[in-house]
Amino acid sequence: MIIGRVYGSVVSTHKLESLIGYKFMLVQCIEHNTLVNKFLVAVDGVGAGIGEDVIITTGSGARMALGKPDVPVDAAIVGILDEKQC
């Protein structure tokens, strides 16, 4: 799992039919409680907004989290963080 902050949204007018209806978010990764210069695009499975800290799962776990194992997704937002304790 990865922790990150939603930086913005990504709009794709042309995409595979199996991806229609999914919202794509640009997420900046957080490492050691610090934003780092590393970004990824994740499908939003929980309705996250810009500026929120989120939990992301990757690989086959992302597809399973969306309930669609045949969708070509490598990262999915699966939670919105209320607080972090370090």
Percentage of residues of the chain with pLDDT beyond 70: 97
Task: Give the span between the Cα atoms of 37 and 68, in whole angstroms.
Answer: 30
Mean pLDDT of the chain: 92
- Structure tokens that stand for 69 in this block: 């194992």
- Residue range 1-23: mean pLDDT, rounded: 92
Task: Give the span between the Cα atoms of 20 and 4, in whole angstroms.
Answer: 24
- Residue range 62-76: mean pLDDT, rounded: 89
Name the residue with higher pLDDT: 56 or 69.
56
